[in-house]
Amino acid sequence: MKGSSYGWVVVLCAFTLMFVGFGAAYSFAAFFRAFEAEFGASRAHVSLVFSLCAFLYFLLGAPGGMLADRYGTRNVALVGVAFLAAGLAAASTANSVELLYVTYSVGLGIGIGLTYVPSVGAVQPWFEKRRVLASGIAVSGIGAGNLMVPPLAAWWIAAFGWRGAYLALAVCVLVLGGAAAAAIRNRPAGQGRATAGVSLHAAMRTRNFWVLYVTLVLSGFGCFVPLVHIAPYAVDAGHPESFGVLLVSLIGLGSLAGRFAIGSIADRFGRMRSLALMYLGMALMLLLWWASTGALALAVMAVGFGICYGGFVATFPTVVMDLFGARSVSGIIGCIYTAAGVGTLFGPPLAGAAFDATGSYSLPILGAAALALIAAAGVRLLRAPG
């Protein structure tokens, strides 16, 4: 396959890599209560297993992106898939929360760090007019994984126990992720504008870079709190555990819709305005969560939050591409994504600690909503290149 038509193969590969990586990560909600019961751990400590994983993959997005810019996305992604599968397999043998930090958190953190940013960055140079659509389809792998893998993991937990479920996930990651990593490739430098733009060093000296960074730190605090805590929140409100896992899947369903719908919104309102709109929507959905305990309201919140989260994830790399060009896009995206790692490292554990101390999630939910509102306002400080 020649020319830009191979770009759609790259989109499919990126979709698959994000599906297996984030599907394995976001299935954590299905394992949450099993870890509480088996290890007698607090919610803060259990939440930290996921937060360390997310912190690592956001932190390692920067070196992962730079390695992909230098050595090619395929080589880096293959190593990432190996870490994903090894981390899941090793987690199945853990006999304490501390060992989950070493196996699950480190293995998946490194694995996603070496597959997410490189694959997102690989998509961008293949497209110009249809970049938002292509990026949205690629990152919809995150939403698809979020939708499908948690209930699949819950089924496997019921059938094989949580250890057997992790082994089954490891096999799926190795087969599907390995095939996608082997097929993905970067656009040849001689085609189109694959080398246009600024270097990572030059980007880091601009106002736009740091505005994007700060807004992502702020939104990151609340972005993953629902993914980790909405299931136990639902159980605390009197709903069955299966409904809590369903809410996580509904976030994934909304995320899929948001990633596809954002293209038409961005074309009408502009990519930077659309990014601000997604931050605003996340804040409003967090406020709805704070005010809700009923099944219908929680389901609406989960879908609505997913739409805004998915739209934000699809829009963000295209804004980076618009502001800085394709020359070092993977490295720039990766460096900015460390900001989300900062928020994610503290958000879910602090929410768990707040619950352990007060028996309520009200304070962390309201705080996350306020930070998302500030992030939405901060996007207005971005300036398009002249």
Q: What is the CATH number of the domain that holds 342?
A: 1.20.1250.20
Establish if 386 belongs to a structural domain: no
**pLDDT-derived band at 362, boundaries 50, 70, 90:** very high
d(CA 159, CA 165): 8
pLDDT beyond 90 at 266: no
The pLDDT score that the predictor gives to residue 189 is 55
Average pLDDT over residues 39-53: 89
Query: Mean per-residue pLDDT for 354-374?
Result: 93
**CA gyration radius for the chain?**
19
Asked, for residue 316, whether it belongs to a domain, the answer is: yes
Q: What is the tens place of the pLDDT at every residue in 130-163? A: 777 787 788 888 888 888 999 999 999 999 999 9
Rounded to an integer, what distance in angstroms lies between the CA atom of residue 200 and that of residue 132?
Answer: 22
**Where does the pLDDT of residue 179 fall: very low under 50, low under 70, confident under 90, or very high at 90 and above?**
very high
Cβ contact 149:26 at 8 Å: yes
Q: Are 8 and 130 in contact (CB under 8 A)?
A: no
pTM attached to this predicted model: 0.75
Helix (H, G, I), strand (E, B) or coil at 325: strand
Task: Give the separation between CA 96 and CA 7, rounded to whole angstroms.
Answer: 44
Give the percent of the chain with pLDDT over 70.
Answer: 95
Structural domain contains residue 206: yes
DSSP state of 197: B
Number of structural domains in the chain: 1
Residue 327 DSSP SS3 = coil
Does the pLDDT at position 193 exceed 50? Answer: no
Question: Any idea which of 23-27, 36-40, 86-90 has the lowest mean pLDDT?
Answer: 36-40
Task: Please give the pLDDT value at position 4.
Answer: 59
pLDDT of 155 reads 93
Instruction: Please give the mean pLDDT across all residues of the chain.
Output: 87
The mean pLDDT value for 186-190 works out to: 64
Q: Above 80 in pLDDT, residue 110?
A: yes
Indicate if the pLDDT at residue 288 is higher than 90. yes
Examine residue 127 and state whether it is found in any structural domain, yes or no.
Answer: yes
Q: Above 70 in pLDDT, residue 366?
A: yes
- Side chain identity, residue 270: G
Q: Is residue 83 part of a domain?
A: yes
Angle in degrees, CA 352, 356, 361, rounded to 5: 55
Answer whether residue 376 is part of any domain. Answer: yes
Instruction: Note the maximum CA span of the chain.
Output: 60
CB 180 within 8 A of CB 13: yes
Residue 126 is given by DSSP the state G
Is pLDDT larger for residue 339 or for residue 127? Answer: 339
CA 18/CA 110 separation, integer angstroms? 13
The string of pLDDT tens digits covering residues 200-231 is 889 899 999 999 999 999 988 888 888 889 98
pLDDT for res 301: 96
What is the predicted pLDDT for the residue at 386? Answer: 61
pLDDT of 55-71, one tens digit each? 898 888 778 888 887 88
Whether residue 124 is contained in a domain is answered as yes
Torsion of CA 352, 353, 359, 362, to 10 degrees: -70
Spatial CB neighbours of 316, under 8 Å, sequence gap ≥ 6: 212, 216, 275, 333
Residue type (1 letter), 17: L
Residues of the domain holding 335: 3-381
